[in-house]
């Protein structure tokens, strides 16, 4: 690539696909738009238009960071297709505009009959707009997009990995919109799974709460409720209660009371937009948990201390699909996380712990700060200094093989002054 060539990130949409957008990189915005429109034959019915375009200092890094951050919003197997609505567009563009490699926004006017005109206009700086980076990030974080529903088979597959004794005589608490209804299409897969397997697991009690404040996916109404399921001498008993003023939020005083006084194991897929608050509450409760969250949490600053301090570790499986609000399968990048002991993790076999000289050259390099970066699940067995790894080896159990995270934040390597994928710094104990 010509070093002087400009690098751009774009968000583009086809007029017939209003629930999707594509986020990609290019050196030539004009050409890329024509390429897209050539695919559809510039048909009048389906034309592509840019929704957002900007120049960046390193398009590959920005594109990859978007994939890592918003992987759960990707709609198709293809990595560049993301879910779209105007709130999401704002979240994507705010993220790009506050990325450290962002240069300037480019405004494009498309004239369908003629050429694409690129109107160069510099975005006012944050300072000119009277904003700090943190304002934009906070805004982006507030854009909630939590409506992703767990598939029954993902729950079944993960729970099958744990000894039955983990569940025996326990009260399971599903506290994030795990609705229950006589029509199972209106129940969350967590609720269904634990009701169906109640006896098999030897559970004592199941408590599920419905959150009344979000998009009402399970058609359960705007009132929070508590559903309790127990097995008594007279058989299964269930109760649905709508306590006055109860929101169903995991941090509602009643939910916290159930968490602290009744729950033994918390199990759910909490909302992505407030996962940080959720993790804090559940981890601080000291209860056992098995939850789904973003696969990149392992290298995300606010979660790293939990992994470093051994308060949480990866469960057995990743979660590649969820249902979206239209009940369509959506691919995503989730993973199970837990504090339930993991025995003989099958994924240990993906770790390649070998002496440094046996790691192929292409999987080891030193960054500008002389920190060793190791890829492809390799880890040097005879290296005493800190080195940086990606999420994969951590999810495969590296921290259970004599290595520890040594910094409570993610590590940003630079090579020849260019930022590359962020990682986590670990060291052999
Ligand atoms: C990722 S979805 C998962 C839903 C369900 N647990 C499942 O796994 O299918 C997260 C759900 O949490 C709900 N939610 C949002 N804020 C919440 C809160 N403060 N307390 C409880 N649930 C919340 C969202 O509306 C959404 O339905």
The predicted-structure confidence for 122-175, as pLDDT tens digits, reads as follows 444 445 444 544 444 344 344 455 678 999 999 999 999 999 999 999 999 999
The predicted-structure confidence for 275-332, as pLDDT tens digits, reads as follows 999 999 999 999 999 999 999 999 999 999 999 999 999 999 999 988 887 778 887 7
Helix (H) or strand (E) holding 427: strand 424-428
Global pTM reads: 0.70
Å from CA of 154 to ligand 1 middle: 17
Å from CA of 177 to ligand 1 middle: 5
Please state, as a whole number, how many other Cβ atoms lie within 10 Å of the Cβ of residue 285: 15
| Mutation pick for ligand 1 pocket among 222, 271, 293, 327 (CB with most ligand atoms within 8 Å) | 271
Choose between 144 and 227: higher pLDDT: 227
For 269-413, strand residue ranges (E) read 288-294, 313-323, 329-338, 352-354, 364-366, 372-374, 378-380, 387-389, 403-405
- Is residue 409 within 8 A of residue 301, CB to CB? The reply is yes
Å from CA of 249 to ligand 1 middle: 9
Instruction: Tell me the two tokens of residue 48.
Output: 């592509």
Task: Give yes or no for residue 375 CB within 6 A of ligand 1.
Answer: no
Shortest-distance atom of ligand 1 to CA 217: 27
What angle, rounded to 10 degrees, do the helices at 152-159 and 189-196 form? 50
Q: 272 in helix, strand or coil?
A: helix
| Mutation pick for ligand 1 pocket among 176, 184, 293 (CB with most ligand atoms within 8 Å) | 176
CATH of 149-343, one of 1.10.1740, 3.40.50, 3.30.200, 2.60.40: 3.40.50
In angstroms, the CA 265 to CA 268 distance is 10
DSSP string, 151-202: -HHHHHHHHTTS-GGGTTTPEEEE-SS----SSGGGS-HHHHHHHHTHHHHT
Give the residue-averaged pLDDT of 211-215: 77
Choose the weakest-confidence range: 140-154, 355-369, 388-402, 405-419: 140-154
Domain boundaries of the chain, sorted by first residue: 7-142, 149-343, 347-428
Task: Give yes or no for residue 269 CB within 6 A of ligand 1.
Answer: yes
């Amino acid at each position: 690539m010509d070093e002087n060539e400009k690098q751009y990130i774009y968000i583009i949409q086809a007029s017939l696909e209003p629930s999707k957008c594509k986020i990609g990189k290019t050196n030539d915005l004009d050409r890329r738009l024509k390429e897209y429109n050539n695919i559809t034959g510039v048909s009048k019915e389906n034309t592509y238009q840019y929704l957002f375009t900007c120049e960046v200092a390193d398009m590959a890094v920005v594109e990859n960071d978007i994939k890592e951050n918003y992987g759960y919003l990707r709609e198709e197997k293809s990595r560049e297709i993301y879910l779209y609505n105007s709130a999401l567009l704002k979240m994507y563009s705010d993220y790009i505009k506050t990325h450290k490699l962002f240069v300037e926004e480019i405004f494009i006017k498309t004239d369908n009959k003629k050429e694409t005109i690129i109107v160069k206009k510099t975005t006012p700086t944050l300072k000119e707009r009277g904003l700090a980076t943190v304002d934009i990030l906070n805004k982006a974080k507030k854009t909630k997009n939590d409506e992703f529903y767990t598939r029954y088979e993902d729950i079944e597959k993960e729970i099958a990995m744990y000894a039955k004794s983990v569940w025996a005589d326990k009260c399971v608490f599903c506290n994030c919109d795990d609705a229950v209804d006589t029509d199972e299409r209106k129940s969350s897969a967590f609720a269904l799974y634990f009701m169906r397997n109640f006896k098999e697991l030897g559970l004592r009690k199941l408590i599920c709460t419905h959150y009344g404040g979000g998009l009402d996916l399970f058609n359960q109404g705007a009132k929070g409720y508590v559903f309790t399921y127990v097995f008594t001498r007279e058989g299964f008993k269930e109760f649905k209660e709508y306590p006055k003023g109860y929101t169903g939020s995991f941090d509602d005083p009643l939910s916290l009371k159930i968490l602290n006084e009744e729950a033994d194991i918390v199990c759910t897929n909490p909302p992505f937009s407030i996962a940080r608050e959720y993790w804090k509450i559940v981890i601080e409760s000291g209860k056992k948990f098995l939850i789904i969250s973003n696969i990149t949490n392992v290298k995300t600053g606010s979660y790293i201390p939990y992994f470093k301090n051994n308060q949480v570790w990866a469960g057995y499986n990743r979660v590649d699909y969820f249902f979206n609000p239209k009940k369509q399968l959506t691919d995503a990048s989730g993973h199970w996380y837990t504090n339930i002991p993991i025995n003989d993790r099958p994924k240990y076999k993906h770790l390649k712990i070998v002496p440094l000289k046996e790691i192929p050259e292409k999987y080891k390099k030193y960054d500008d700060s002389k920190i060793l970066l190791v890829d492809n699940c390799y880890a040097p067995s005879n290296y005493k200094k800190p080195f940086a790894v990606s999420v994969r080896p951590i999810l495969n159990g590296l921290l259970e093989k004599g290595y520890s995270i040594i910094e409570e934040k993610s590590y940003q390597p630079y090579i020849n002054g260019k930022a590359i994928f962020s990682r986590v710094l670990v060291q052999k104990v």
